[in-house]
Amino acid sequence: MNLQIRDATIDDVPVILQLIVDLATYERAPNDVTATETQLVDVLFGPKPAAEVRLAFEDDVAVGFAVFFHNFSTWLGKPGLYLEDLFVRPEHRGKGYGRALLVDLAKIARERGCGRMEWAVLDWNDPAIQFYRKLGAKPMDEWTVFRLTGDEIAKLADS
């Protein structure tokens, strides 16, 4: 396996966007992607980056990525590493790339003094759930994720 994992650069934005589309397709929501290359340049490489991206390559081919950012645990008094997306293209699965990306992120979390790593997984994605459990990750069954989006955010902000 000729795997390389590295930080994404601004030149990788087209690859990042394609991986986002591939992930959305895998998650049965290909038409939900509205991100553009211009947006990604701004939010990932602008003056206040909102997230970081690690890319996995097999030889010179991008086979997967991890998108993450830092959150904060008031109870621990430490930052956390939140994994927004982990994706390996289906034709490259089973080679250890997903695990390698998570090991890479664990090293980043340790180096940055993070108290925990967290992420969400779709409840129908049993292969991913089993994969995460094998790594020692535990589901937070007692927690429910809530979300506000565009119109709801605006309505609440105007209230």
- Residues with Cβ within 8 Å of residue 125, at least 6 apart in sequence: 27
Q: Span 62-79, mean pLDDT?
A: 97
pTM score of the predicted model: 0.93
What is the pLDDT, as a whole number, of residue 1? 65
Q: Which residues pair with 118 in a beta bridge?
A: 82
CA-closest candidate to residue 105, choices 76, 141, 132, 125: 132
Is the alpha carbon torsion for 16, 8, 128, 123 positive or negative? negative
Element (H, E) at 57: strand 52-58
How many domains does the chain divide into? 1
Q: Span 122-126, mean pLDDT?
A: 92
Q: Write the CATH number for 25.
A: 3.40.630.30
What is the pLDDT, as a whole number, of residue 54? 98
Residues recognised as catalytic: 132
Instruction: Quote the CA–CA distance of 102 and 94 in Å, as a whole number.
Output: 14
What is the pLDDT, as a whole number, of residue 21? 98
List the domain range (segments joined by +) for residue 32.
Answer: 3-158
CA-closest candidate to residue 44, choices 11, 76, 72, 22: 11
What confidence tens digit (pLDDT) does each residue in 2-58 have? 899 999 999 999 999 999 999 999 999 999 999 999 999 999 999 999 999 999 999
Instruction: Quote the CA–CA distance of 116 and 131 in Å, as a whole number.
Output: 18
